Structure 1
Amino acid sequence: MDKIDEHIVRILQENAKISMKDLAEAVHLTSPSVIERVRKLEEQKIIEGYHAHISLKKINRPISAIVLFESKDCKGLAKFCHNHPDVLECYRVAGEISYIVKLATHSVETLEQFIDNSMQYGSPSTNIVLSSYENKVIAPYTIEDKTLF
């Protein structure tokens, strides 16, 4: 990726619905050039897809939680999480904790139901999310970035 591709990726992360004409103007290229660059970024799987960001509160899922599991049945827990409608993300991790699950649900009662139903797979530790921050624009890591730390 060159600097122009990085700029294209940043702009698309900020606004995936931008027209190719407006994107071309923003990076100072012709529309056909930008269309070709975006196509190549998609083929290389740098751009994996385009998504709508949904308000969890407005779809009646105001309770978010992070649940840490010491699992005694990893495959069972993974299947349970994959099939549960409240689970947004599920990570198998190394260490004392074997799974981290992010979920969004309707109420404290439905959160309790998730916890109760998941206990057969291991010991959960539940953390209700009070506030959050999500970095929506992710830049590629470069050697120069090491100087930031």
Structure 2
Amino acid sequence: MDQIDRKILSLMHENARMPISEMSRTISMSQPAVTERIRKLEDQGIITGYRAQLSGAKLGKHTTAFVMFKTDNCKDFVSFIEASAEVVDLYRISGEYNYLMKVVTENTESLASFLDACSAHGFSTTLIVLATPFEDKSLISNEV
């Protein structure tokens, strides 16, 4: 992966819907060359997919929390979480807790209900998000 690939990835991270024509002008390459580089990045598994970023607030989801969870039955817990619409990310972690999950709910009352349902699988510590200065920061340096 060279600097041109890094620039393409940076542009795509900022706006995955950027037209190839605009991207090719920005990095001074032909459209077929940019298209081929993107295809190779996909084939190499560097680009793993494309998705829309959704506004939780516009969808009526105003509360975000990170929940550290400890369970003795990982398989049942993961099955429960997979079926839970409130959990948008789940990470297996080291340390005192087994899992870290990002939970998005309508409000603190619905968060409390979700946590009550989780308690059948173990215990948790919850951190409610007060503000999000940034999110989904690019893995590619801004210096490209």
The answer to whether the superposition gives a TM-score over 0.5 is yes
Q: Secondary structure at the match of 1:57?
A: coil
Report what 1:16 is aligned to. 16
Shift in Å at residue 95 of structure 1? 1.2
Alignment of 1:1-149 (within 5 A): 1-132=1-132, 133-139=134-140
Q: In structure 2, what is the Cα distance between the partners aligned to 1:75 and 1:118?
A: 14
Specify every segment of 5 or more residues in structure 2 that has no aligned partner in the other structure, as ranges: none
Q: In structure 2, what is the Cα distance between the partners aligned to 1:119 and 1:89?
A: 18
Contact 1:14 1:136 in 2 (8 A): no
Q: Counterpart of 1:62 in structure 2: which amino acid?
A: H
Q: Counterpart of 1:68 in structure 2: which amino acid?
A: M
Q: In structure 2, what is the Cα distance between the partners aligned to 1:46 and 1:72?
A: 35
Report what 1:144 is aligned to. none
Q: Secondary structure at the match of 2:123?
A: strand
Q: Counterpart of 2:5 in structure 1: which amino acid?
A: D
Query: TM-score, length-normalised on structure 1?
Result: 0.90
Q: Counterpart of 2:60 in structure 1: which amino acid?
A: N
Deviations for 1:65-98, whole angstroms, at most 9, x for unmatched residues? 1111121221111111111001010111111111
Query: TM-score, length-normalised on structure 2?
Result: 0.93
What percentage of residue pairs aligned between the two structures are identical?
35
Report what 1:143 is aligned to. none
Q: Secondary structure at the match of 1:21?
A: helix
Q: In structure 2, what is the Cα distance between the partners aligned to 1:130 and 1:124?
A: 19
Query: Structure 1 segments of 4 or more deviating over 4 A?
Result: none
Q: CA RMSD in A?
A: 1.1
Instruction: Kindly indicate which of the two structures has a greater share of residues assigned to helix.
Output: 1
Q: In structure 2, what is the Cα distance between the partners aligned to 1:20 and 1:85?
A: 35
How many pairs are equivalent?
140
